[in-house]
Chain A
């Protein structure tokens, strides 16, 4: 059996090395890159590994020691280091992360650079020793927490996918279907623009006893999603809430639009009820003619098409107007709201305007900041936990039987399309009663 490496070992080695170096501090320098302060989405392990690799040439040429710490920070230690060269590499690392506020924050003359700290051991030894002491203590704490915590599941492999697909064919997904509203803010009122229907992957995992990470590989998950499409489409017409929203949105692979299950869903739509079909950009680019055909057919029948899961940078990288979807959905990233963002905010507002602010949804809005930022960029449609909470609160306020419910209960029951969760509500019709509420007042720009 492999012996698990103590994740705080690097920190311990670093402390040892510094203590030894402290005896002959002349000419010794330490450079500390605070990569652990990057936003979580900007520091996947692969990116941090690459950052550390950029220093490797110094290791051989100047006997510099590089410590890739367990929290993601990098510490570079050396004697008579060529400062210009080190600085150049620090600069390159900064450039790699220049989408993160940590890298671009403009700090004052008397403030410390939040990205990097330099220590000359002759004068700064005590500071450095204290810093590394803290790093070690943190690393040990993290290690202890990690040891108690469950191991992260291994990635899904092709063989797992094969077994899973067989099991999925037998699964009743109806109780696993969820919905999330997309809310459009107008001058005075906010309305539900559409309700997105999706399958709860947590429920699927639990029902099938899946012990691996379904999302580890994008392509394998995408293949799984073809199967999920069929199950979702087959289960949807039999749910209690299918007929409620006037517009439903569904995440689908383009190929699923040709399936008999999709035809069945179309047939079961009530009068005046419409669909938004959400497709992934990978699917669009893997089969452009299929996308164009689907868009035109859906539109002709009064439905619409949405390109899902776009990074905000996509507006600058791609002329989405040429693809001409009815909607695009941009994923909220917290760094967007950081002051002094180098991708200038005005520029982003222009891009939104060029495409058409009415056709943009900002998704995964977990807090008010996201919505306020979006409104200031001419985006008017929003989706995410923050909106779920607002809608839940209003639902409870309007509900005569809400006394015994919590907001969490109400939101969860509202999100279920049928099954046990929805049945738990003392007033099920109340779950669909609220379709609008007063818009928040906008802060003056």
Chain B
């Protein structure tokens, strides 16, 4: 019985997201290749009748424990192949899991009896990469896979959405229900969030000077996460359940930062939080884990609807974190919300205004008059123009008193400097 139309070239639903993760993870480990391995299992070469869904699931299941407990990374590719990244410590466990995989598909001609295939010698089913020597080969492969996403007809050209960003553009799929939320919550308990974590600098940019990074926003890429956990679900269709989910993510991000998995993040970063999360035990643990004196370099980003939902809690949380030395930023103001949210009245250090391509036209129109006025009255050193994807955004911002910027265009300017 079949109730799903199978496209001519089936694509793994997680493939696009995983390919990007793979590329990102490889970038991050570029300087840390010693004793590390990659392996690609070419399920795409199996006969279609051997590549049924339950076998694919069984295949992934084989690696669950290795992924959850031993730090092995698992990535589906769009063509149904999968890639594993691991190190010498876990190599034997990966080998024994691969035995199971070969056994799963033993009837297929591509899984030939090659005695050395598990010892690091590639055959037509398994390709091995020793990152010490083969890093470039694997990296180029991942790059090519991701570059393919931009080709017309590819379904993977999705833009990222941050926690707190306007999620209205994301209208697709079924609306999230409480039942799905319950499942996601359970999945999040054991999920490895680290590869869904993105970062983006906020820079001071005056005139033609080189952007000067002020702090780096650390965020969970909601869209990435959605593609992994709920590929056919529209999170934005239910803003309340989405907000609930962000609280769960807050806890996970705080725990991650408290463990300080990422040693580059000791100071000068910002995180998105809900007011209630600031009042939680997780935040207090995070607070304890920061080195004395570094609190002042950490910026907490809050959303206006969350602030106004319980002002009393907000004032308490704000006074507490400011006493501890943190800085507070209101995140995600659009031209619509900007007139209502005055940083000064709310006692915050920074406000983040979202750029959109038609912003100059809107501000010149009658509808945008209140926002234009609010921008003129704003304090320039306290306003960040965010989501600047183009140079035009930066130019407009500079002409309108902004000195702080964030967005893909800034990332582009910064990247060559970092190398």
Q: Which residues of A contact B (CB under 8 A)?
A: 41-42, 46-47, 49-50, 53-54, 56, 92, 95-96, 99, 157-159, 161-162, 165, 217-220, 222-223, 226, 280-282, 284-289, 310-311, 313-314, 316-319, 322-323
Contact = CB atoms under 8 A, between A and B. Distances in A.
B309 interface: yes
A219 B247 contact: yes
A40 B311 CA distance: 16
Chain B contact residues: helix, strand, loop or mixed: helix
A284 B239 CA distance: 12
A323 B340 contact: yes
B316 interface: yes
Contacts, number: 114
A56 B370 CA distance: 46
A161 B182 CA distance: 9
Contacts of B341: 318
Chain A contact residues: helix, strand, loop or mixed: helix
Given A46-B279, A322-B339, A322-B370, A158 B305 contact: no
B387 to A, nearest CB: 18
B315 interface: yes
B119 interface: no
19 contacts: A41-B312, A46-B280, A158-B178, A158-B179, A158-B182, A158-B241, A162-B179, A218-B276, A220-B244, A280-B309, A281-B309, A286-B239, A286-B305, A287-B239, A289-B336, A311-B310, A311-B311, A314-B311, A319-B339
A53 B311 CA distance: 22
Top 5 closest A-B pairs, CB basis? A285-B305, A162-B178, A159-B182, A46-B279, A158-B182
B25 interface: no
A288 B337 contact: yes
A218 B309 CA distance: 9
Nearest to B309: A282
A319 B374 CA distance: 12
A157 B244 CA distance: 10
B177 interface: yes
B181 interface: yes
B320 interface: yes
A165 B175 CA distance: 15
B279 A161 contact: no
Contacts of A162: 177-179, 182
Contacts of B304: 285
Contact of B319 (A95, A313, A322): A95
B239 to A, nearest CB: 5
Contact of A318 (B279, B281, B308, B312): B308
A220 B243 CA distance: 9
Nearest to B311: A311
Given A288-B336, A311-B311, 15 more contacts: A46-B276, A46-B279, A96-B316, A158-B241, A159-B178, A220-B241, A222-B243, A226-B240, A281-B309, A282-B308, A285-B305, A287-B239, A288-B340, A318-B341, A318-B342
Contacts of A49: 281, 284
Interface in B338-353: 339-342, 345-346
Contacts of A318: 308, 340-342, 345
Interface string B234-250: 00001111011001000
B123 interface: no
B323 interface: yes
